[in-house]
Amino acid sequence: MDGKNEEVYDEDSIVALHGLEAVRKRPGMYIGSTDTRGLHHLVFEVVDNGIDEVMAGWATTVDVEINADGSITVTDNGRGIPTGIVKEEGKSGLEVCLTDLHAGGKFNQNSYKVSGGLHGVGVSVVNGLSTKLIATVYRDGKIWRQSYQTGIPDGEVEPIGKTEGTGTQIQFWPDSSIFETVVFDYEMLQSRFRNQAFLNKEVTITLSDQRTGKSEKFHYDGGVSEFVQYLNRAKTPIHAPIHLEGERNGVQIDIAMQYTDGYNEEIDSFVNTIFTPEGGTHMTGFRTALTKTINDYAKENGMLKDESLEGSDVREGLTAIISIRMSDPQFEGQTKAKLGSSVAMSSVLSFMNDKMAEFLLENPAQAQLIVKKGISAKEGREAARKARDATRRKNVLETSTLPGKLADCSERDPAKCELYIVEGDSAGGSAKQGRDRNFQAILPIRGKILNVEKTSPGKLLDHEEIRNLAIAIGGGLGVDFDITRIRYHKIVIMTDADVDGAHIGTLLLTLFYRQMRPLIDHGYVYIAMPPLYRVYKGKREVYAYNEEEMAAAVADMGQGANVSRYKGLGEMNPQQLWDTTMNPETRIMKSISVQDGMMADQLFSVLMGDDVQPRREFIIEHAKEVVNLDV
């Protein structure tokens, strides 16, 4: 899209709907939460404005700097926010944009045909949730500046110098009285900006961190095709990326897809470069058309007869990027998690039906690979279903005699029940004796379960420990998983505090993420935090969960204090295990959640997949961040 053909963008383009106080009173309504996700959402809102200038054809660079004082500076080389007086408001366009909740060029269809910011509220929300914000605009040959305190201007917009360039710079200090943390995470920003650079071939995004000296640039000429190759860097593709690009009903569509020899699907969708983690109408259109076109091709070429492939069959092992650009997208909520625009579904559906059918017809070798992959998935799914049916019938009679059997609780309301998955019989014995039998169940597992990242879903139930876990939890596995059938709303991984324990915990998390994902999405998965040390002297004893707590306890008791290091849960007697790790009144547990679905998918692929090189690179990059190293 060539934005330079659009009408003039000046102060008369700014339309305002008043009100900013509600942002500080109810920040979650505008940024989703006040935890680390909400904090980083502030950065994304400002950067999205720069990306909007890129999509409109006016900018090529966006620079983001994490400053040593905890602030963030975002600079783009776009047109610069208008600084002239908005007649209806009696103040500058810059001040209107930064102080009025519903204000910006995005209400004026002549200023932005497509934009990632929703309703233009982004930068004003950032201003309202920051203790301080400084806006610097390069425009009309001058450098303009205005500063704010919690959204209130310190004074008028003033020229502070001359310039030949154009652009906008926003520096802000997030309000620590509103956010749970104001410490920015480099990797969370890195992931977002890398994605945006893949989606906008024209842009170069620079991320710098004054705290560490780290800096990197993101620019990808290959666009979404290169994006798919990046996502598959730890996997084994079975063909070159398929790139489908065009326009339908005013919606610009850019799709890349590539099948691997694995079993997990990763389909990520974007609207105006904004990630839609919950998908929406564009995702529905893509999936529907993909299933139809592959089935049609398979039947027309005699590869299928009366039967059909299901959606899960044609998506097994698929990595895809769906990127659309459209005017006035309708999202569900300010955080833009899900697209609701009906025109997006019909446009993507129609486009995919035509372009994918055309691709399959013109590329018979790749088409054969794709269809065979789907047929193989179908056969595996049917074999797994037969195995599950047989297992269910068998286990009605034999559950009580399974090795590592479940010690269930007496409570039957899942909302009140907890399942502790414990490593080994020794720890299992202590846990069974130390638990509260009313609501706590114990399932010991022996050794390390299968790495499901490398295992066919059809073979999972052949593994005894995974079968026992599936039966105990009660929801099934994979596409058949039913969250309404689970028997516990707290599923607690309780392993030893050593390398083997960490590995077992990681394998369990991989199982839950890939085969029982709703458990994590509903917040039902936890990691127990047993103490690492017992510090005691005479009748006094203190449990310490890290070296700092241990050192403090020793100092408090004097140089005659004794220290015991727990290497395994089995070293604790039942009472100690209850007191420190299982008693709801005193225990510490980590709740498992997904903050960035794309990053989570990548980490599981890199760390648990077959390819060694990406894992080695990850370890080298993060080696200095290790806190506890068990050698």
Residues 6+ apart with CB under 8 A from 603: none
Q: Is 439 in contact with 411 (CB distance < 8 Å)?
A: yes
Q: Is 496 a catalytic residue?
A: yes
Residues 6+ apart with CB under 8 A from 294: 309, 314, 356, 360, 370, 371, 374
Q: Which tokens go with 504?
A: 């077992």
Q: Is 423 a catalytic residue?
A: yes
Q: Which tokens go with 446?
A: 């022996």
pLDDT of residue 62: 98
pTM score, whole prediction: 0.76
Give the C-alpha separation, 7 to 68, whole Å: 40
Catalytic member of 310, 498, 521, 549: 498
Q: Which tokens go with 267?
A: 């389909």
Domain borders along the chain are 3-218, 223-379, 402-530+575-594, 533-565
What's the DSSP call for residue 27? Answer: T
Give me the CATH code for the 3-218 domain, please: 3.30.565.10
pLDDT of residue 428: 85
* Binned average pLDDT, 10 residues per bin, the chain of 631 residues: 58 62 78 87 92 92 97 96 87 88 54 50 86 96 95 92 96 95 94 94 96 96 96 92 96 97 92 89 97 96 92 95 93 75 96 97 96 92 71 43 69 94 85 94 87 78 84 84 92 86 88 92 93 89 88 89 84 89 93 78 74 73 62 48
Catalytic member of 266, 408, 418, 423: 423
DSSP assignments along 202-253, one per residue:
T-EEEEEETTTTEEEEE--TTHHHHHHHHHTTTS-BSSPPEEEEEEETTEEE
Q: Is 420 in contact with 582 (CB distance < 8 Å)?
A: yes
pLDDT of residue 402: 38
Q: State the fold for domain 402-530+575-594.
A: Rossmann fold (3.40.50)
Catalytic member of 408, 496, 579, 596: 496
Catalytic member of 464, 500, 549, 611: 500
Q: Tell me the residue ranges of DSSP E strands in 437-522.
A: 440-445, 490-494
Give me the CATH code for the 223-379 domain, please: 3.30.230.10
